[in-house]
Amino acid sequence: MVKFLKRSYVYLIFAFLYMPIAVLMVYSFNDSRSRGMWGGFTLRWYVELFQDRTIMSSLYSTLLIGVVSALVATIIGTLAAIGIHNTRGIQKKVIMNITYLPVLNPEIVTAISLMILFVFARVRLGYLTLLLAHITFNIPYVILSVLPKLRQLNKHLYEAALDLGSTPTQALWKVIIPEIMPGIITGMLLAFTLSIDDFVISFFTTGSGVSTLSITIYSMARRGINPKINALSTIMFTFVLLLLIVVNVRQAREEKKGRNGKNGSKRQVSSLGARLGGV
C-alpha cells in the first residue's frame, strides 16, 4: 500500500512533466500551422521534415555537440571535483566561487563575453567555439553533481586502498570513481540536457554554416514554429522511449539468466576487497 502511494506520487510528477510533451506531440498531427487551431489530422509535417535539409543538419550538430561536450565536461568536471574535494581553505573558496559564475551569470552575458573572447583570439566561430562554450557552461553542473558524492565518501576508503598496495591512480579508478558513479552519471545527463536545450550561448558562439536545433527553432519564432519541429520532437521522444524499453527488457532477461546460472554472484561484487582483487 505504501509502495503504491509512493509510486503514485512519482507518477503524478511524471504527469506534470509529460503534459506539455503530450501537447506538442499531438500538434505534430495538426493540419493547421497555428497552435491556436485544430485543423484536422495530417502526416504531412513528417513527410516535409525529411526533405528539410536545414533541420536535419542542425539535428546532427545538436547531437554531436551535445554528446562531445557532455563527455568532455564530465571528464574535466569529475577530475576537478576530486581535486576541489581535497583542497582546503581560501583556495577552495576561490575555485568554488568561480565555478558558480557560469551558473549565476545570465546566459546573454556569458554568451557575449565568450563571443568577444573568441573573436579577439581570432578563433574562427564554428564547431570548435560552439564546443568550447558548451563545455564551459556544462562543467559547473558536473562539479555540483559529483561533489556531494565525494562528501559522502568514506574518508578512509582511499587510504585503505593504498594500504592494500594499489597505486594512487589505481585507487582513483578502482575505488573512488565507482563509488561516485551515480554523481558522474547525473552530471553527464544534466550536461547533455543543458547542451541540447541551449539557445542564447549557442547562437552567439557559432559561425556561418553551423546551426543547432535550438537556433533553427528560435529563428522560426517570428513566423510561428513550423509543426515539422513538433514532428521531429515526436520522433526523437518515441525513439528514446523505445530505446529505454529495449535496454530494459534485455537487462531483465540477462538478470533472469544470471539468477538461474551459477555466476549470479558476480553481479553483486561491490566490496572493496573484491574490487581490488582485479588490480
Footprint of another protein on 174-213 (CB under 8 A)? 179, 182-183, 185-186, 189-190, 193, 196-197, 199, 203-204, 207-211, 213
Q: If binding is defined by CB under 8 A, does position 235 make contact with another protein?
A: no
Give the nearest distance from C-beta 275 to another protein in angstroms: 12
CA atoms lying within 13 Å on the CB side of residue 4: 1
Q: Interface with another protein includes 275 (CB under 8 A)?
A: no
Least Å distance, CB 97 to another protein, is 5
Kindly state the smallest distance separating residue 150's Cβ from another protein, in Å.
Answer: 9
Interaction with another protein in 2-41: which residues (CB under 8 A)? 3, 6-7, 9-10, 13-14, 16-21, 23-24, 27, 32-37, 39
Of residues 97-136, those binding another protein (CB under 8 A):
97-110, 112-119, 124-128, 131-133, 135-136
112 C-beta neighbours (distance < 10 Å), count: 15
- Work out whether 152 is an interface residue with another protein (CB under 8 A): yes
The CB-of-252 to another protein minimum distance in angstroms stands at 8
In angstroms, give the least distance from the CB of 173 to another protein.
5
Using the minimum distance from each CB to another protein, give the nearer residue, 43 or 240: 240
Q: How far apart are CA 154 and CA 165, in angstroms?
A: 18
Task: Considering the complex, state which of residue 128 and residue 164 has its C-beta at the smaller distance from another protein.
Answer: 128
DSSP state of 102: H
Residues near another protein (CB under 8 A), total: 134
Output the smallest distance, CB 262 to another protein, in A. Answer: 23
Residue tagged 556544462 (cell numbers): 138
Q: Smaller CB distance to another protein: residue 49 or 229? A: 229
CB of 148 to another protein, least distance (A): 4
Site for another protein in 52-91 (CB under 8 A): 52-54, 64, 68, 71-72, 75-77, 79-80, 82-87
